[in-house]
Structure 1
């Protein structure tokens, strides 16, 4: 095998700071837009921010409509509904996504399927879907996150549940990356503690997984057209991951405990952006691969801070539930990197006798502090469910390929069994 010698880096244009959301109209006018569809979900719409942003766009002479039917943790069904609405009410010159990762990911699909032909499953990653690449450039997409965590405003990836298969999967292509990320920390203040905790753990795992990912030099050399966005750990992604972890160390717990803590919200927003710039290029691995079936096979768990009565395991929560044991498994592949993550997140945590337990110890302490459930058993699973979860995890080959240590099905089963209860 000829080892890779090239890594790639990509990121959207970024506008950050209080008041940034009110300047989107200016940016879209510069892009030549006239008709703009704003996408959001009902809960975010109730905060008034989507309407406020839409009114600002109108003040720049743009024709604007709002679609507030985005589904939290989107599915193939909910995404098709959004696409049908956009196709039926268009054509649109540009899109503005105001919300969390669910909204931004839905907007990516709407942009894809109103700019190109074909149907949703044609583009979904194999082996679940056809893995088709977009055949033409997409329209301008402005991503305005209202939660700090998913990093979707920076990435080339969107995630969805395929209901008929009970699996979470995604679409990945450089053309999905938003044109502009507008990060205005004011929009995150209304996020409830449970949402802040879950999305905050998504930040943490993005940064920690990209930092511990298989190095780009250990991949097989590819032709330019064969390279995928997730190219492995590299010096630029490392820089963003380290900075994200440093910001997150104090900001996550502070924002969960006091949502009005402006400084914590600002640092959490920056951490999410940095982590997105890192993992959007290096990639994530086992915790995220496990998270897809954990969320996709949910039964009756209803998390705090999310729509009442709707069974749901939020993505960031699902990722965090197996992270301690996943990082214990990957530790032998890159001990110094795992220890570095632990030191950045928990500088006051004494190093245990077994170095492999250092990062899991730091993570368990943080999970307990911010109210994340105690393992997958606390969200409705038992050891008898492990085989079904492993079946879903092994479908995430795009993510598992980035793991620094390749897991067998038995390895994955062991990680999940040890994650039934974390403390």
Structure 2
């Protein structure tokens, strides 16, 4: 027997999905035992009606709700510390993680740290470090995603930038998984096309890297495939018409599916995107979208079969690597995704630093081919200057 047939699976999240479901926020908070939640989001959302309305609805339901919005696009340890200070000073007893991946990740980290005495970095996703946390000190979480990208609403980890070392760290604990998710596609209607595109391709990359990751996990593979099918159909529609509620719904579903699937593993795209984001403060989804074909090329010999399967699913003629590669390039162009890292302010001269950090990133372990520091440096260089050949 040559096929590996052993794996560990977990799909436990309770999701309330559909237009208008944000009206159930207060009920969801009460179901987790919250009496005075803190809504945590990013700076760009704090003044929008969706946030004001959510807080007002909670207040009307007898749930006084605080607000913390000091979260950057790439959340930092300082963002988490500041949010934790507000949480503790306000006597809050639960967290509403509201927004895109940055807001959700920061909020989940605040919830983890609510009752801890050790520094957050002691809970990095290394071995059994998560067992250092006091589970009784983790606050309950209700998640409300407003973008269709990271899928953090169904994840047990947060990606937080450690500013002194310019590294993105994955902070993990099983109880960081939100107890309830409210996925209301109406909250994503206002996303501008460029954000819709970048976050949507991020979700595609999650599905693609999960499907190509080594190991036996047919449940994750199936979820990843359906996620890619949904994205291929729905993302161009949502990009063209932000009010297409069915396309928005499919994208919101696909984002959660990508994050569910990548418990199987990620790979070189994310291994590179994490240090690039930490060093250059680039948008995570856009960084992934740019990197994807360059990493595909490096992994070609190990992913031919995956590419054939994906091509057949997408109805592409002549299934194989070349066909899917060309489709990815055309898909990115259709969505206005730029072709090089240089176009988003990334300096090719930092190749060795980025490559070294990429090799040390947890996502490296999911690469279908073992990539060396030199390999990562070459991929990075090519992605900076646009060498796809």
Q: What TM-score, normalized to structure 1? A: 0.85
CA contact (8 A) 2:223 2:261 kept: yes
User: Does residue 356 of structure 1 match 2:321?
Assistant: yes
CA contact (8 A) 1:313 1:379 kept: yes
* Change over 3 Å in CA distance of 1:385–1:184 after alignment to 2: same
Query: Which residue of structure 1 lines up, in the alignment, with residue 380 of structure 2?
Result: 416
User: Does residue 109 of structure 1 match 2:116?
Assistant: no
Query: Which residue of structure 1 lines up, in the alignment, with residue 53 of structure 2?
Result: 52
CA contact (8 A) 1:29 1:60 kept: no
* Residue aligned with 2:34, SS: coil
RMSD: 2.3
User: Does residue 211 of structure 1 match 2:211?
Assistant: yes
CA contact (8 A) 1:140 1:179 kept: yes
* Change over 3 Å in CA distance of 1:28–1:383 after alignment to 2: closer
User: Does residue 263 of structure 1 match 2:246?
Assistant: yes
Distance across 1 between alignment mates of 2:181 and 2:173: 17
Query: Which residue of structure 2 lines up, in the alignment, with residue 292 of structure 1?
Result: 274
Query: Which residue of structure 1 lines up, in the alignment, with residue 290 of structure 2?
Result: 321
What are the superposed Cα offsets for residues 35-67 of structure 1, whole Å, 9 maximum, x if unpaired? Answer: 111111232122211221122222322222122
Distance across 1 between alignment mates of 2:275 and 2:311: 27
* Residue aligned with 1:6, SS: coil
* Residue aligned with 1:191, SS: coil
Deviation at residue 27 of structure 1 after TM alignment: 2.3
Distance across 2 between alignment mates of 1:316 and 1:169: 17
What are the superposed Cα offsets for residues 336-381 of structure 1, whole Å, 9 maximum, x if unpaired? Answer: 1122234445x34x548xx433332221111111111212122233
Distance across 2 between alignment mates of 1:284 and 1:364: 20
Query: Which residue of structure 2 lines up, in the alignment, with residue 366 of structure 1?
Result: 331
User: Does residue 378 of structure 1 match 2:343?
Assistant: yes
User: Does residue 402 of structure 1 match 2:376?
Assistant: no
Distance across 2 between alignment mates of 1:177 and 1:331: 34
Distance across 2 between alignment mates of 1:88 and 1:60: 23
Aligned residues: 384
Deviation at residue 259 of structure 1 after TM alignment: 1.4
User: Does residue 69 of structure 1 match 2:70?
Assistant: yes
CA contact (8 A) 1:327 1:359 kept: no
CA contact (8 A) 2:74 2:278 kept: no
Query: Which residue of structure 2 lines up, in the alignment, with residue 196 of structure 1?
Result: 196
Residue segments in structure 2 that go unaligned for 5+ positions in a row: none
CA contact (8 A) 2:130 2:173 kept: no
Q: Mapping of 1:82-97 within 5 angstroms?
A: 82-90=83-91, 92-97=92-97
* Change over 3 Å in CA distance of 1:291–1:343 after alignment to 2: farther
Distance across 2 between alignment mates of 1:320 and 1:342: 19
Distance across 1 between alignment mates of 2:246 and 2:27: 27
Deviation at residue 200 of structure 1 after TM alignment: 0.6
What are the superposed Cα offsets for residues 52-94 of structure 1, whole Å, 9 maximum, x if unpaired? Answer: 112222232222212222222211122211112212222x222
Deviation at residue 4 of structure 1 after TM alignment: 7.3
CA contact (8 A) 1:321 1:419 kept: yes
Deviation at residue 143 of structure 1 after TM alignment: 0.6
Query: Which residue of structure 1 lines up, in the alignment, with residue 81 of structure 2?
Result: 80
Query: Which residue of structure 1 lines up, in the alignment, with residue 38 of structure 2?
Result: 37
CA contact (8 A) 1:324 1:359 kept: no
Higher helix share: 2
Distance across 2 between alignment mates of 1:81 and 1:395: 28
Deviation at residue 382 of structure 1 after TM alignment: 5.0
User: Does residue 245 of structure 1 match 2:245?
Assistant: no
Distance across 2 between alignment mates of 1:87 and 1:32: 17
Residue segments in structure 1 that go unaligned for 5+ positions in a row: 217-233, 299-311
Which consecutive segments of 4 or more residues in structure 1 shift more than 4 A?
Answer: none
